[in-house]
């Protein structure tokens, strides 16, 4: 894979061959409920049913399996809002190598417990993700570990892009795909792989209105960092590293970034849990919120959205349910 060009369909096929024994091929389920209320034929790529409870295992496993023996001996370090850290910890346990995970203070308890259970060295440091990332980068230099970014890494992007290959296996006619976006690793991988298979498909990023860093970056044509607010989609929070390799993918493949607010995300999350009888996180429900809010864009189309993860604290689920009673 080149430092100067975008990943190709062949790169995603190699990634799938590398990781397929270590991940779950997740189902692509038709949503009768969201199809009826949106006027589209909506399919859900259920990465909330992935082994570690999120799509992040794909990128983490691909990156870890691609390390040299010398790099494996050094161990790895990363920063995460939870799901990437959980995936890195899982992969590190599988490969029997040391891992240090830096997470912000707002991380949900279920993610903390999972990271610890897989044996990683957990550091709950930083009020926001960006602070945790700075500390992880410092550890990279002082401890000599290999840093694996949650999004700014070609092997991570290639791993996430295997989702697009699986969608193609299960559904040949797709008009649009809604992809939750923050740093852009998931968007870059899925959009590039999907476009390689469906040149006509429209790829939309979906972001929380409270944390619209990629939205503003695309609007201004350059990477920017702006103040963020707290959001129910906390996994989509955080700034973007300068020179991030995901931005060229967003500029090339993104039809538009759609913003949804916390009220809209919460409503979609409750409806998903109620009608599909599965868990998902706030950041996983942004595509569902978007298909409702912007339904005029998708009426009559076949649309896929990615339900990215299920790692939500039970107390939060209770709170959501109680708020609706």
CATH number of the domain to which 136 belongs:
3.40.50.1100
Q: What is the pLDDT of residue 238?
A: 83
The per-residue pLDDT for 2 is: 42
Domain that holds residue 202: 9-54+158-324
Last residue within a domain, chosen from 147, 182, 209: 147
278 and 290 together in one domain: yes
Q: What pLDDT sits at residue 111?
A: 84
Q: What is the pLDDT of residue 318?
A: 60
pLDDT in 10s for each residue of the chain, 325 residues = 444 589 999 999 999 999 999 999 999 999 999 999 999 999 999 999 999 999 999 999 999 999 999 999 999 999 998 899 999 999 999 999 999 999 999 888 888 998 999 999 999 999 988 899 999 999 999 999 999 999 999 999 999 999 999 999 999 899 999 999 999 999 999 999 999 999 999 999 999 999 999 999 999 999 998 999 999 988 898 889 889 999 999 999 999 999 999 999 999 999 999 999 999 999 999 999 999 999 999 999 999 999 999 988 666 666 666 666 5
Which residues, including other chains, have CB under 8 Å from residue 301's CB and lie 6 or more apart? 40, 41, 175, 176
Residue 165 and residue 207 in one domain: yes
One domain, residues 46 and 172: yes
Predicted pLDDT at 239? 84
Q: What is the pLDDT of residue 316?
A: 65
Which residues face 307 on adjacent strands?
A: 46
Last residue of one domain, picked from the residues 94, 112, 147: 147
Residue 82 lies in a domain: yes
Same domain for 28 and 102, yes or no, is: no
250 shares its domain with 201: yes
Number of domains in the chain: 2
229 and 139 in a common domain? no
Q: Judge if 175 and 224 occupy the same domain.
A: yes
pTM higher than 0.85: yes
143 and 36 in a common domain:
no
Pairing of strands 28-30, 41-46: antiparallel
Domain boundary (125, 147, 169) is at 147
């Amino acid at each position: 894979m080149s430092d100067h060009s975008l990943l190709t369909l062949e790169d995603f096929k190699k990634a799938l061959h590398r990781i397929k024994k270590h991940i779950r091929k997740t189902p692509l389920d038709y949503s009768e409920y969201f199809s009826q209320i949106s006027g589209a034929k909506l399919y859900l790529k259920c990465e909330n049913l992935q082994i570690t409870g999120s799509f992040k295992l794909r990128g983490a496993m691909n990156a870890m399996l691609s390390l040299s023996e010398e790099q494996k001996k050094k161990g790895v370090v990363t920063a995460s809002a939870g799901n990437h850290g959980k995936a890195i910890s899982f992969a590190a346990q599988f490969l029997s190598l040391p891992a240090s995970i830096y997470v912000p203070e707002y991380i949900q308890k279920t993610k903390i417990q999972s990271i610890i259970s897989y044996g990683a060295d957990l550091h709950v440091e930083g009020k926001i993700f960006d602070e945790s990332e700075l500390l992880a980068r410092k550890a990279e230099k002082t401890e000599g570990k290999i840093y694996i970014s949650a999004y700014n890494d070609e092997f991570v992007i290639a791993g996430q892009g295997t989702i697009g290959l699986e969608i193609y296996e299960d559904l040949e006619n797709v008009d649009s795909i809604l992809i939750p976006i923050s740093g852009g690793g998931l968007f870059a991988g899925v959009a590039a792989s999907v476009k390689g298979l469906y040149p006509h498909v429209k790829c939309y990023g979906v972001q929380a209105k409270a944390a619209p860093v990629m939205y503003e970056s695309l609007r201004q044509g350059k990477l920017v960092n702006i103040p963020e607010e707290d959001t129910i989609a906390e996994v989509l929070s955080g700034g973007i590293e300068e020179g991030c390799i995901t931005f060229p993918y967003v500029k090339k493949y993104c039809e538009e970034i759609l913003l949804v607010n916390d009220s809209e995300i919460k409503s979609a999350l409750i409806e998903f849990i109620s009608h599909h009888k599965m868990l998902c996180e706030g950041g996983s429900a942004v595509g569902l919120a978007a298909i409702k809010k912007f339904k005029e864009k998708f009426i009559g189309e076949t649309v896929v959205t990615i339900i990215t993860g299920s790692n939500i604290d039970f107390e939060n689920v209770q709170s959501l349910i109680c708020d609706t009673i």
